[in-house]
Amino acid sequence: MTAVIPDHRPGSGTASGPAAVAGAVDGARRAQPDWEALGFSGRKKALDAWRVLILRRTEELVALIREETGKTADDARLEVVLVADHLRWAAAHAGRVLGRRRVSSGLLMFNQSATVEYRPLGVVGVIGPWNYPAFIPIGPVAAALAAGNTVVLKPSELTPRVGAWLAATLAEAAPGPEVLRIVTGDGDTGAALCRAAVDKVSFTGSSATGRRVMAACAENLTPVVIEGGGKDAMIVAADADLEAAADAAVWAAMSNAGQTCVGLERVYVVDGVADRFLDLVTERAAALRTGERPDADLGRIVLPRQVEVIRSHVQDAVARGARVLLGGPRSISAPYVAPVVLAEVPEDSTALTEETFGPVLVVNRVSGVDEAVARTNASAYGLGASVYTRDRAQGRRIAARLRTGMVSVNAVIAFAGIPALPFGGTGDSGFGRVHGPDGLREFSRSQAVTTQRFRPLMQPNSFGRHPDTMRTLVRMVRALHGRRALSGGPSPRRGLPHGERTT
């Protein structure tokens, strides 16, 4: 059986106005208490059934993703694999991360038992982009559902049917009141969702739209997660495995035709190895096939106006003296853009300051790792980064100096494929996290609960306390915590919840 997907395509007359959005939020609100009452294990059962159904229908989802985005079959399959893995992780770990746990009650309240747990927020609004129409929304959707919320999803107006397919398959796998509802339309529908009475909005898209989303959410003090754009850089140190770095750079820059938020747009390579690295990158990128052909490596640019952005960045770089190693303004022919490799691009040209979101890779040489770190950090964006060096300890030291939410050493974008890791950025790339324990907590509210175990001899929280109570307490605190030697805090290895180990 295939999922029945209502026609949500632009022009089908099904765009959801404010009343339809309010209706969807209302329906999600009514479904929420029963969904929460299922508990972690009941919700896991439903989400596991959904995952199995999605995997059984992989090729159906692949076909739909391709129909709406024009990406290659393998790029679409990668999405489905990531969807399944992240869904599995959120369902399997929500109870451990969010469930009730005891904490130490300390000196003052030693007669109390103290617990913390993470309760659902209620209804979460998710606004998605078109570049990974299944994988990107599944991060917040899986976390929010696993935490006990219900969700109203507004997929991109370019990929409404993928969103509708996800909701239809969940409804089939877990019959009952719909816990994932879809509203469709453009930015107006998204704005209506921000203004509807949702308890949180998770937005993924461009940083410019993120600002508008935040402004709309501010009207009702609705909290937001902003997953914005990126300008990810790779640092190639003098001792790097250049073949591996070049192979990874070309894949990270060109797969999905460069339309990846954590796609690679800049490389800073140390001077002594720059020529060899450029040769390897250019050779690999030149071998890629672009277009309609079934064996193509690069599909089309989905958003027609993005082609002009790509063209203007390339033209700006070339006009300002960049060296063109592959492609160039003439390799851009809408809706396809063949790989472009540029070198010696001025750092203040738009190809380096703005998100290009196409298969364009800028490779600039630097005097050393320090300059590479400074240039990487000079961007307004701070989403992901990668570092290539044979010295893994140096790789971790460089990673620690980068102002980005995620870094991969001797790999690219590996962090996105690890569901236990938080995903998100800094600066213009946004704030808040999806994926991992942070992602689960993002869609929950912590609740602290104390339960009195016995009546204490001293009662500081009472006007009826003994006149000496506070003085006695101060003496006790001084004796216990008033000297440096005695007051060393807990070891950083202790007190980490849920087996989140230090390395």
- Select the span of 127-135, 247-255, 388-396, 463-471 touching ligand NAD (CB under 6 A): 127-135
Enumerate residues 207-226 that contact ligand NAD by CB under 6 A: 209, 212-213, 216
What is the size of the binding site for ligand NAD (CB under 6 A)?
A: 32
For residues 186 and 275, which CB has a smaller minimum distance to ligand NAD in the complex?
A: 186
Among 120, 163, 190, 358, binds ligand NAD (CB under 6 A): 190
Among 120, 125, 129, 422, binds ligand NAD (CB under 6 A): 129
Pairing of strands 340-343, 360-366: parallel
We find the least distance from the C-beta atom of residue 304 to ligand NAD, in angstroms, to be 11
Q: How far apart are CA 298 and CA 227, in angstroms?
A: 25
Residue 382, interface with ligand NAD (CB under 6 A)? no
We find the least distance from the C-beta atom of residue 25 to ligand NAD, in angstroms, to be 14
For residues 95 and 187, which CB has a smaller minimum distance to ligand NAD in the complex?
A: 187
Enumerate residues 215-274 that contact ligand NAD by CB under 6 A: 216, 227-230, 261
DSSP per-residue string spanning 411-468: SSSGGGG-TTS-B--EETTEE--BSHHHHHHHTEEEEEEEEE-S--SS-TTSTTS-TT
Among 16, 69, 204, 379, binds ligand NAD (CB under 6 A): 204
Pick from 321, 361, 8: nearest CA to 153: 8
For residues 228 and 395, which CB has a smaller minimum distance to ligand NAD in the complex?
A: 228
For residues 43 and 195, which CB has a smaller minimum distance to ligand NAD in the complex?
A: 195
CB of 241 within 8 A of CB of 388? Answer: yes
Check 227, 265, 355, 442 and give the catalytic one: 227
We find the least distance from the C-beta atom of residue 235 to ligand NAD, in angstroms, to be 20
Among 127, 217, 278, 373, binds ligand NAD (CB under 6 A): 127
We find the least distance from the C-beta atom of residue 77 to ligand NAD, in angstroms, to be 18
DSSP-derived letter for residue 484 is G
Enumerate residues 151-170 that contact ligand NAD by CB under 6 A: 154, 156-157
Pick from 17, 31, 32: nearest CA to 196: 17
**217 annotated active-site:** no
Q: How far apart are CA 62 and CA 1, in angstroms?
A: 16
- In whole angstroms, what separates CA 105 from the centre of its chain? 35
CA atoms within 13 A on the CB side of 129: 22
Pick from 117, 173, 182, 111: nearest CA to 151: 182
The alpha-carbon radius of gyration of the chain (Å, integer) is: 26
Q: How far apart are CA 273 and CA 242, in angstroms?
A: 8
Among 131, 255, 282, 356, binds ligand NAD (CB under 6 A): 131
Among 62, 82, 144, 194, binds ligand NAD (CB under 6 A): 194
Residue with tokens 């972690």: 40
Residue 130, interface with ligand NAD (CB under 6 A)? yes
Q: How far apart are CA 91 and CA 87, in angstroms?
A: 6
Among 191, 254, 274, 314, binds ligand NAD (CB under 6 A): 191
**Residues whose CB is less than 8 angstroms from the CB of residue 20 and which lie 6 or more positions away in sequence, other chains included:** 183
CB of 443 within 8 A of CB of 201? Answer: no
Residue 21, interface with ligand NAD (CB under 6 A)? no
Enumerate residues 286-325 that contact ligand NAD by CB under 6 A: 303
Q: How far apart are CA 320 and CA 268, in angstroms?
A: 19
For residues 240 and 257, which CB has a smaller minimum distance to ligand NAD in the complex?
A: 257
We find the least distance from the C-beta atom of residue 303 to ligand NAD, in angstroms, to be 6
Q: At how many degrees (to 10) do helices 73-98 and 135-146 cross? A: 20
DSSP per-residue string spanning 170-206: HHHHS-SS-SEEE---SHHHHHHHHHSS-SEEEEES-
For residues 297 and 354, which CB has a smaller minimum distance to ligand NAD in the complex?
A: 354
For residues 16 and 156, which CB has a smaller minimum distance to ligand NAD in the complex?
A: 156
DSSP-derived letter for residue 322 is P
Check 178, 261, 265, 355 and give the catalytic one: 261
**227 annotated active-site:** yes
Q: Which residues bind ligand NAD (CB under 6 A)?
A: 127-132, 136, 154, 156-157, 186-187, 190-191, 194, 204-206, 209, 212-213, 216, 227-230, 261, 303, 355, 357, 383, 429
Q: Which residues form the catalytic set?
A: 227, 261
